[in-house]
Structure 1
């Protein structure tokens, strides 16, 4: 833990530190340039004194002081870093092999932990991202992988963030970039989608025919109840034909007139 890292230097350690301080003071005009260090606004410095971390908090930004003979320091960049997850061949829960890649955004939240708890926080985070991608996607079906990328990315981000917390790393965001399917599966899915579209089109056409039949049935019932309505329809048809300037005009005779002549 951090208390152990900042423990006592011991008698010999303090003797060396005091001797180094005296040496620095005596040669101040020359050693001052080796004692003053600068870190940028986005950086922090973790100082080691005789191999031990000197403080519970990293130094910076700005100027800080080190003893030239006993102190060393490591600069840690606090800016957000992104990296691509190389394409990974993954077997989904329903036994489909897919190739998936992604991108991860992370930053150092604890400079001391990122230096003391892991040899290379950046490299370790990259390797962990690859294994996490395979582990998370291995529990998903292909349909879930294609339709719920955002949920999968959030699950990966949570898992990575928890795993890298001891390294002083904060995983801010994970994105699934591309999901590549085998060519045979792509053709099968395309054929299935086309068949589904054709089936929907047939259903829509059948519904249209059914609605048209219902409308014709209702119209025939209305006409049967009102013979004069049929005569008006005849006249409207005659007007339409006459407006088109045809040479032949067909005039429909009312049915009651024809029946009258037939009785005679």
Structure 2
């Protein structure tokens, strides 16, 4: 029977005794080369803690509890890791330790021994691989977050551009706010960009003069001609040049002169000819006067 601490009388030829240490004991499982389930050879060791909770069973059921526990831990480590993938060993060592402890407990419970796996140590190379994979995963997540942020920012910029494009005054207000922010930084040099209006003025554009009769849906390009010539000269008020046309002559009386640039920012200026021109020189002078007025109005409206 089990005796507690104290002094006992033992007959040398009749009684025998065994001393059992019930303190927690630890030992290292020597490194072992194990073939994982995905056919990768790794060298793994472990740290095992055990404690005798029933001294009578530990003496009666097993001859050498400490050595038996050590050998059982080596076998369990080999069997458990042989059913796992290398990725599982790298990512979830806690689950491997728990599985190994459960396998040991199934046998050591009958020996009166409680086993706990503190750590399953992997080689340094595998630990570096694990750290590299973790770092790569963090970088991938960071790139995804940055990409999502850039995508949302681009959508917001597109919406802002659409809103600003609907109102030219909003663009001008944004321009003034930017200048105000630059001036608040107390910079020694401030760069003023060229306004968009000047770019529109300097951009080359093609113009045409159309003369149409009242109650006519389709405008007809025409100008005055000499009776002796088939061709005519069409004056361009914007470019200050004469354009040639072969269209028939239209009487200047009761006509409307339309100056229409072809580009998207076209400007239409209309004027009515009130006087009938008798000679070719008078008609040219009238055309030049109208062209000068149109160019002045076009420059004034663009500057505004």
Does 1:214 pair with 2:155?
yes
Summarize the Cα distance change of 1:233–1:67 in structure 2 as closer, same or farther, 3 Å threshold.
same
Higher relative contact order (CA 8 A, sep 6+): 1
Does 1:155 pair with 2:192?
no
Name which one, 1 or 2, has greater alpha-carbon Rg. 2
Summarize the Cα distance change of 1:104–1:193 in structure 2 as closer, same or farther, 3 Å threshold.
closer
User: Which of 189, 192, 205 in structure 2 is aligned with 1:246?
Assistant: 189
Task: State the alpha-carbon separation in 2 of the partners of residues 70 and 136 from structure 1.
Answer: 46
TM-score, normalised via structure 1 length: 0.64
Count matched residues: 204
User: Where does structure 1 lack aligned partners over 5 or more consecutive residues?
Assistant: 1-54
User: Where does structure 2 lack aligned partners over 5 or more consecutive residues?
Assistant: 202-266, 268-296
User: Which of 176, 182, 185 in structure 1 is aligned with 2:119?
Assistant: 176
Q: Note if contact 1:238-1:251 (Cα within 8 Å) is conserved in structure 2.
A: no
Q: Note if contact 2:90-2:130 (Cα within 8 Å) is conserved in structure 1.
A: no
> Per the alignment, in what secondary structure is the counterpart of residue 73 of structure 1?
coil
- How far is the alpha carbon of 1:189 from its aligned partner? 7.1
Q: Which residue in 2 is equivalent to 1:95?
A: 39
Does 1:63 pair with 2:7?
yes
CA displacement 1:96-145 (0-9 Å, x = unmatched): 11111111111122222222322211111101110011011111111111
Q: Which residue in 2 is equivalent to 1:125?
A: 69
Q: Which residue in 1 is equivalent to 2:298?
A: 261
Map 1:195-210 to 2 at 5 A: 203-204=144-145, 206-210=147-151
CA displacement 1:14-37 (0-9 Å, x = unmatched): xxxxxxxxxxxxxxxxxxxxxxxx
Q: Which residue in 1 is equivalent to 2:219?
A: none
CA RMSD, Structure 1 to Structure 2 (Å):
3.3
- How far is the alpha carbon of 1:175 from its aligned partner? 2.4
